[in-house]
Amino acid sequence: MNFHDLTRVALTLMLALVAAELCVWLHTPIPWMLGPLLATALASVLGAPTRSAHMPRNAGQWVIGAALGLYFTPQVSALVVSLWWAIVLAVLWALVLGGLFGLWLQRQHAADFAHLPLGAGRATSYFASAIGGASEMTLLAERHGGRTDLVAAAHSVRLVIVVMSVPFAMQWAQSHWGLQVDARLLSGPRVAQWPGLFWLGLATAAGALVMRWLKRSNPWFMGALLASMCLTLSGVNWSAVPTDLSNAAQLVIGVSLGVRFQREFLHTAPRWLVSAAIGSGVMMALSVGFGGLLAWATGLHPATLILGTSPGGIAEMAITAKVLQLGVPVVTAFQVCRLVAVLMLVGPLFQWINRRKKTA
């Protein structure tokens, strides 16, 4: 990265910091992620030379993964394991909901796909509608001849809509209904201390590097999360993650989401973006109902299950749960299991559907 690029990254981070402080002053939910996201997205759309660097983003995912893993105490993990049937239902729900959204997208844009090779339109709408793994779904769409720009755009729109709306809804519910913190779902170590923080950082960095070596999805987040989980489950409570460090991690994650919205983004396919936004809103509304039903069946608070089944990203929904204290380990477990299942099943399911189409 040259000096010009470093300057753009630094200026983008400065803008994000100002936006985060403004959101803190305005008492918005998850201010350290939401402020940077909105500010950089707006600046990018207006043509400002915003830029996000891979290293800060990876570091942010590493910190958040390590912080979330500290919630998986033996007591909490036993609770999560007892919810296996609810997690399976949530995975099936995500697959069915994404599939229905894909069918709707395909019908809405059949004329737009007419000039594409046979099956390319189906691949585009199918992988654009899958809930989770935006970068992986884009690669799968490319492999099957789909339009990767439309797939990436649909996932970006969905993620930003969820991140902008769900935290505000949760904060409103918390202020009006007084959502109570479940004492069972609090983190293990709650005080940052030295040299425990150093050992925690070292162990979670090793986990991230192992996941990267294995070429797994989101290695810096998933590796740090798994390493931190294993330590907490084993009764090793070295240190909590300092609040300032967690806030900085949220800031760089917000920036990485906001810079996706370059000026060219809005000119990609306006009708497609509108459809993606409408579909995302409908999926969110349906997921609220599904989360409420799971909450009734499990006895957990609806806010926790709504976040766990929301069609957003793992880090973003878990950060919301962490900041508002709404059951981080349950939300994380639901989101992680869904992501793993989607990454494993969506590709084979598409191939199976294609075979049936050809033999029909």
Q: Any idea where the domains of the chain sit in the sequence? A: 3-359
pLDDT at 343 over 80: no
Q: Is the dihedral of CA 212, 249, 55, 5 positive or negative?
A: positive
Higher pLDDT, 49 or 190: 49
CB atoms within 10 A of CB 141: 26
pLDDT at 18 over 70: yes
Taking alpha carbons only, the member of 203, 205, 232, 236 closest to residue 221 is: 205
Report the pLDDT averaged over residues 353-358. 68
CB atoms within 10 A of CB 63: 25
Higher pLDDT, 357 or 23: 23
Class of domain 3-359: mainly alpha
Instruction: Please tell me what DSSP assigns to residue 188.
Output: S
Predicted TM-score (pTM) of this structure? 0.75
Query: pLDDT tens digits for 194-240?
Result: 888 888 889 999 988 998 888 776 788 888 888 888 888 888 888 88
* CA pair distance 9, 80, nearest whole angstrom: 40
pLDDT of residue 206: 92
pLDDT of residue 224: 87
Instruction: Please tell me the number of Cα atoms within 13 Å of 283 on its side-chain side.
Output: 33
What does the block give as tokens for 189?
């170590």
Contact 242, 80 (CB under 8 A): no
Question: Where is average pLDDT lowest: 117-121, 124-128, 299-303?
Answer: 117-121
Cα-based angle 312, 316, 317 (whole degrees, multiple of 5): 65
Range from 53-62, 284-293, 325-334, 340-349 that averages highest in pLDDT:
284-293
List % helix, strand, coil for the chain (3-state, nearest 5). Answer: 75, 0, 25
pLDDT at 54 over 60: yes
Question: Where is average pLDDT lowest: 133-147, 166-180, 262-276, 317-331?
Answer: 166-180
pLDDT of residue 191: 67
What is the DSSP track for 227-295? HHHHHHHTT----PPPHHHHHHHHHHHHHHHHTT--GGGGGS-HHHHHHHHHHHHHHHHHHHHHHHHHH
The values of phi and psi at residue 269, to 5°, are -170, 90
The values of phi and psi at residue 91, to 5°, are -65, -45
Query: pLDDT tens digits for 149-191?
Result: 788 778 878 877 887 787 777 777 666 555 555 555 555 556 6
Query: pLDDT tens digits for 66-102?
Result: 887 887 778 777 877 888 898 899 889 988 888 888 8
Cα-based angle 267, 313, 256 (whole degrees, multiple of 5): 55
* CA pair distance 46, 27, nearest whole angstrom: 26
Contact 259, 44 (CB under 8 A): yes
Query: pLDDT tens digits for 265-319?
Result: 666 667 888 888 898 889 888 988 998 899 889 888 888 888 888 887 766 777 7
Cα separation values, 341 from 90, 92, 158, 336, 344, Å: 10, 9, 19, 9, 5
pLDDT of residue 109: 83
Taking alpha carbons only, the member of 341, 333, 359 closest to residue 76 is: 333
What is the DSSP track for 7-31? HHHHHHHHHHHHHHHHHHHHT-SSH
180: exposed, middle or buried (C-beta count within 10 Å: 0-12, 13-18, 19+)? exposed
pLDDT of residue 337: 80
pLDDT of residue 356: 67
What does the block give as tokens for 14?
């400065």
* CA pair distance 252, 208, nearest whole angstrom: 18
What is the DSSP track for 261-275? --GGGGGS-HHHHHH
Query: pLDDT tens digits for 4-13?
Result: 778 888 888 8
Report the pLDDT averaged over residues 353-360. 65
pLDDT of residue 89: 92
Q: Is the dihedral of CA 49, 54, 55, 56 positive or negative?
A: positive
